[in-house]
Chain A
Amino acid sequence: MDTSAFSARFVPIFLFSLNDKMHIEAETEISVDENGETEVELEYADIHYFLSDTTTFTAGKFLLPFGQYGPNQHPSWINRSAFSPGIYGGLGGHGGYQPMQGLLPVMSDIGVGIQHIIPLGKNQKIFFDVYMTNGLAAEAPHDDEEDAHDEEPVQDEHEEEVVDEHEEEEDEHEEVDDHALELPELAFEATSADNNSDKAFGGRIAYAFLPGIEVGASYYTAKYDDDEKLGFTATGFDINWIGNHYIVRGEYIKTETDAFEEDEHEENKVITFDRNGWYLQATFMAGKMFNVLQGTDFVVEYAETNKINEAERWAYGVNYWLDSRAVIKATYEDTIVHDGEDDKRFAIQYSYGF
């Protein structure tokens, strides 16, 4: 059992303004994995074309606007916890193993998108994002158990195992929520190729009453197999509520993942795995209320995943901002895994955004 570990990531962002209408952005992540090998990942590289005062066209590899955590809040100098919310999996939102299997990774994919803003009088806006990308694929089968921990997402285990383990399911089962079932494993990593002609489609609509409240609803759908018979759909609702001394952030996500199941006549039939989860994170900016605590935040977060791979997690943290871009975070998390081993972790993180 690991009792201590150090890790480091360098995530430079490159920005270029070609002219008033065109802007280029790119972000890479350079990190060292647990075997000491250097990993380099292109998180996004896209071009924005500002079509009008309120409309932006985006092309390239970009963070998908699903919820608020993935596109906006996952950088460690923005996220108020040292850990990513349980429903997004991984440590710090960039993959890695954690006992609570998330519902989605931070999604980044190659395609095109449109963003439109509708101002509704003073301090009110509607945000509208739609996009079309290459989409996801089925993860290639592998035998190494450790590999499962390396996967950024969430959906664990092989499609073949699903078929084998549940041959005896009744024909009428079209939706499955049995706790014992294993989800198909999906590959969310962006690729320049596509395994089928179906494109992922999604978007988010949000209402913002600034500066305090933003609520949004997100949708993502794609076929992931070569024959375009198996689909994956995610629906999400999010809230970001900001006050003088507090921030409350939360998201609910529901996923539906199709898989083949052989019936008694050994014919493949499509079944659907439902899964859902949510988190709520509250930050109390004590330094804004008490001078003696200047720069100090207290954070508490609860997350749970339901129906399959059920788990719940509490996280407690203290942050100290050295200045507006540098933070030291100490976070303790306690995860209860319903069909597995419970987990407790403590992390200290230093993060610097520039």
Chain B
Amino acid sequence: MKSVIQILLVVSLSLLSAFSSHAEEKISGAEVINNNCARCHNARAVHEFSIPEWKVIMPHMREKAHLTGKETQAVLEFLELTSQSVPLAKKVAPEKMIAPDGKQLFTQFGCQGCHSLKGDGGTVGPALDETIKNKGIGFFIKKLQNPQFNNSSSPMPKMPLNEQQIKAIAEYIKS
């Protein structure tokens, strides 16, 4: 009986592997964090560890959380992105600067991996639809500048965004 069960499991596994989808679309590291970390514990703030440390931690979490290698890599890329310093664009003279695209930044920094907007997105963070309306633009800007300012347990990473970029994201969310 045990042998029959083992054979059935192997056959089932093979069939599932054969028919499973392997979409080549880019994996969002923020979405992987949203979907997997909260299954066991609170998501951890990016700044708790350096990138070399995350590179050792993530293979550990890959096995624990049943992540694929591609998902693990996507998380590391997201962590590297959010660990960058604010771009030099901050120093560019305003008259020469092209207005940043809030929607593009929202996508680039994977905001919707953890926050929902207009019904789509993750659940680790609160929905963003009413944030500015309810708490004001000042709160929004401060939150992006220092995500832990109002909640020390927030896992939100500090994004490398300058003031113009933060305002552009705020305009996109309000629209």
Contacts and interface: CB of A to CB of B under 8 A. Distances in A.
Interface of A: 13, 15-17, 23, 25, 48, 50, 52-54, 56, 58, 71-73, 77-78, 115-123, 125-128, 203, 205, 208, 210-211, 214, 221, 240, 242-244, 287-288, 294-295, 321-325, 353-354
B152 A322 contact: yes
Contacts of A53: 68-70
A324 B39 contact: no
B20 A211 contact: no
B64 interface: yes
B11 to A, nearest CB: 13
Given A72-B64, A321-B42, A15 B56 contact: yes
A325 B152 contact: no
Contacts of A208: 39, 66
A294 B151 contact: yes
Q: Which 4 A-B pairs have the closest CB atoms?
A: A210-B35, A23-B59, A211-B35, A53-B69
B22 to A, nearest CB: 7
Contacts of B69: 50, 52-54
Task: Find the residue from B48, B60, B66, B155 having the highest chain A CB count within 10 A.
Answer: B66
Contacts of B155: 324
Chain A contact surface mostly: strand
Contact of B66 (A48, A115, A240, A244): A115
Given A53-B69, A288-B126, A17 B59 contact: yes
9 contacts: A23-B60, A23-B62, A53-B68, A117-B66, A120-B16, A121-B21, A211-B34, A214-B39, A324-B44
B124 to A, nearest CB: 8
Contacts, number: 115
B63 A77 contact: no
Nearest to A22: B59
A207 B66 CA distance: 11
A325 B56 CA distance: 18
Nearest to B44: A324
B54 to A, nearest CB: 11
A66 B22 CA distance: 28
B122 interface: yes
A63 to B, nearest CB: 9
Interface in B53-91: 55-57, 59-60, 62-64, 66-70
B153 to A, nearest CB: 4
A208 B34 CA distance: 14
Contacts of B148: 323
Task: Find the residue from A221, A288, A325 having the highest chain B CB count within 10 A.
Answer: A325
